[in-house]
């Protein structure tokens, strides 16, 4: 697994931009915040990412989410909005986004398994993570782990294991979806599968 792919996976994990889920756009006005000056360049240092990630995690902790599984999705939602749109979500917005993304993930995995018979074993997943994300030297990735008080391996094999599993499942799904939709257009495949998942969420 090359470094470019690893970087792509890390960005997907931290910003919830999975291969099958389109980034939501927001038309809300951005308000000045304590991190805004750090987003001028495309490449940030480890220390800058560390400050950003600690801020994101602290924001989530301040919301006092009792359900730890949901808190993880809240952190992801806050991080997504902060990194992509440079704005902070309110608690209500973060919870709404987190609940939607969690439900989307569970529905995604269910559709993949029940309709397309696509799953990954624990051994496959561990090997994939070990050979890929565990080898990461991406500053954003390491800063994220540290902000959560985790080692890189703990982040990858435990905390973000669900998102890596989703990435692996999508890799296996791709050829089946091309056949199912009778197209080689990657964007069309993504959009149509996204619609499948959302239909099941209703």
pTM of the predicted model over 0.85? no
Q: What is the pLDDT of residue 35?
A: 46
**168-185 confidence digits (pLDDT tens):** 999 999 999 999 999 999
Of the candidates 191, 163, 196, 186, the one whose C-alpha atom is nearest the C-alpha of residue 15 is: 163
Contacts 24+ apart (CB under 8 A), 19-24: 19/167, 19/170, 19/171, 19/174, 19/190, 20/108, 20/170, 20/173, 20/190, 20/193, 20/194, 20/197, 21/104, 21/108, 21/194, 22/190, 22/191, 22/194, 23/84
**77-94 confidence digits (pLDDT tens):** 999 998 888 889 999 999
Q: What is the pLDDT of residue 84?
A: 86
Q: What is the pLDDT of residue 27?
A: 35
pLDDT band with cut points at 50, 70 and 90 for residue 67: very high
**116-163 confidence digits (pLDDT tens):** 999 999 999 999 999 999 998 889 999 999 999 999 999 999 999 999
């Amino acid at each position: 697994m090359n470094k470019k792919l690893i970087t792509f996976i890390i960005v997907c994990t931290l910003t919830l931009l999975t291969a099958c889920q389109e980034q939501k756009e927001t038309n809300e006005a951005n308000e000045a915040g304590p991190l805004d000056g750090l987003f001028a360049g495309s490449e940030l240092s480890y220390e800058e990412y560390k400050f950003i990630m600690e801020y994101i995690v602290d924001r989530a902790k301040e919301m006092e989410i009792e359900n730890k599984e949901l808190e993880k999705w809240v952190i992801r939602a806050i991080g997504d909005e902060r990194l992509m749109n440079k704005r902070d979500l309110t608690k209500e917005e973060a919870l709404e986004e987190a609940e939607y993304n969690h439900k989307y993930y569970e529905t995604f995995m269910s559709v993949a398994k029940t309709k397309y018979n696509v799953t990954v074993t624990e051994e496959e997943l561990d090997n994939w993570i070990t050979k890929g994300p565990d080898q990461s030297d991406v500053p954003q990735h390491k800063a994220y782990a540290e902000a959560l008080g985790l080692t890189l391996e703990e982040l990858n094999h435990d905390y973000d294991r669900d998102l890596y599993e989703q990435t692996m499942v999508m890799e296996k799904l791709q050829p089946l979806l091309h056949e199912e939709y009778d197209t080689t257009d990657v964007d069309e495949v993504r959009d149509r599968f996204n619609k499948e998942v959302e239909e099941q969420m209703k």
